[in-house]
A and B are shown apart, each in its own frame.
Chain A
Amino acid sequence: MKQLILSCLAVIVLLSSAPVKDGYEVGDTVADFKLKNVDGKTVSLADWKDAKGFIVVFDCNTCPVSRKYNERIISLNKMYASQGFPLIAINPNSPEVSEGDSYDEMVKYAKKKGYTFPYLYDASQKVVSEFGATNTPHVFVLNKVGNELKVAYIGAIDDSARDASAADNKYVEAAVNALLAGKAVSITKTKAIGCGVKWKNS
Chain B
Amino acid sequence: MRYSLFLVLFLTSPLSWGQGGELVKLDKLQQLIQAEKEQIQVINFWATWCAPCIKELPLFEKLTADRKDVRVILVSMDMDLDPDADKVRKFVTRKKIQSQVLILNERNPNQWIEKLDKNWSGALPATLVVNNKTGKRKFVEKELHEGDLEKLIASVQ
Interface residues of A (CB under 8 A from B): 19, 62, 64-65, 68, 134-135, 155-156, 159-162, 168-169, 190-199, 202
Which residues in B have their C-beta under 8 angstroms from that of A202?
Answer: 142-143
Is the CB of B13 closer than 8 A to any CB of chain A?
no
Q: Are A192 and B109 in contact (CB under 8 A)?
A: yes
In B54-95, which residues have CB < 8 Å from any A CB?
77, 79-83
Is chain A's binding surface mostly helix, strand, loop or mixed? loop
Is the CB of B17 closer than 8 A to any CB of chain A?
no
Which residues in A have their C-beta under 8 angstroms from that of B38?
Answer: none
Q: Are B122 and A194 in contact (CB under 8 A)?
A: yes
- Return A119 CB to nearest CB of chain B, in Å: 21
Identify which of A19, A162, A196, A198 contacts B80 (C-beta below 8 A): A162
Give Cα A157–Cα B4 distance, bound, in whole angstroms. 52
Interface residues of B (CB under 8 A from A): 47, 49-52, 77, 79-83, 107-110, 113-114, 120-126, 141-143
- Return B33 CB to nearest CB of chain A, in Å: 18
Which residues in A have their C-beta under 8 angstroms from that of B142?
Answer: 19, 196, 199, 202
Which residues in A have their C-beta under 8 angstroms from that of B77?
Answer: 193
Considering the complex, give the chain B residue whose CB is closest to the CB of A163: B83
Which residues in B have their C-beta under 8 angstroms from that of A159?
Answer: 107-110
- Return A41 CB to nearest CB of chain B, in Å: 30
- Return B87 CB to nearest CB of chain A, in Å: 12
- Return A127 CB to nearest CB of chain B, in Å: 17
Give Cα A112–Cα B77 distance, bound, in whole angstroms. 29
Q: Assuming A192-B122, A195-B123, what are 19 further A-B pairs, CB within 8 angstroms?
A: A134-B121, A134-B141, A155-B110, A156-B122, A159-B107, A159-B110, A161-B109, A162-B80, A190-B110, A191-B109, A191-B110, A191-B120, A192-B109, A193-B113, A193-B122, A193-B124, A195-B50, A196-B123, A196-B143
